[in-house]
Amino acid sequence: MSFVESYRGHLKADDEGQKSHSQSADSNLMPGKGAATVSTILEDKGHVIYSVKPESSVSDAVSLLKAHRIGAVLVLGADGGLVGILSERDVVRKMADAGGHVLTLPVSDLMTSNPVTCQSNERLIEMMHRMTEGRFRHLPVVDDGKLVGLITIGDVVKHRLLELEYEALKMKQMIVG
Ligand code: AMP
């Protein structure tokens, strides 16, 4: 039996009995809406989280990384709480030391315990700093103790590029009149 499982983070809508809705890219980039936050990204990409258990094998975790073309999986304890993160980098580094035998080890041997997290209402620009300074590319999103998603540096950079393009377009329109 595989210990690998996919987990959908808790949605605010689960409490409210209503579906969350996506905003258009345009409305998310509108000046005056306030600085973009983590929730801006989650509304766009959704709340799906790929996870393994601490006792899952590294081999199972690697299969999940490949199947979903992702760079890290979250590690959840028996109660569903976040206990760690396993990145492709952890596997590669350990393989350099221990070779292929790494695939049979439990995820708990390689994972980073108690990863740094963020909240939905935090500003994206601050998350960019958090990831750059911490030298990692993944940030689990935890609201009121509940795991609700995961953002990556790629998500944040993509959003920032769209914002810059939008700002450039608006300036061009102002100049042209
Ligand atoms: P990454 O760049 O995210 O693939 O991960 C690089 C290293 O940082 C790996 O050792 C990960 O286990 C670790 N890591 C990834 N995300 C986090 C996080 N949010 N908090 C702490 N460590 C992390």
pLDDT tens-place string over residues 49-99: 999 999 999 999 999 999 999 999 999 999 999 999 999 999 999 999 999
CATH number for the domain formed by residue range(s) 35-176: 3.10.580.10
Identify the residues whose C-beta falls under 6 Å from ligand 1: 71-72, 85, 87, 89-90, 112, 115-116, 134, 136-139
Q: Of 147, 151, 73, which Cα lies nearest the Cα of 110?
A: 73
Residues 6+ apart with CB under 8 A from 152: 71, 137, 138, 139
Per the CB < 8 A criterion, the answer to whether 71 and 80 are in contact is no
Dist. CA 17 → ligand 1 center (Å): 34
User: Hey, where are the domains in the chain?
Assistant: 35-176
Average pLDDT, the chain: 86
Dist. CA 66 → ligand 1 center (Å): 18
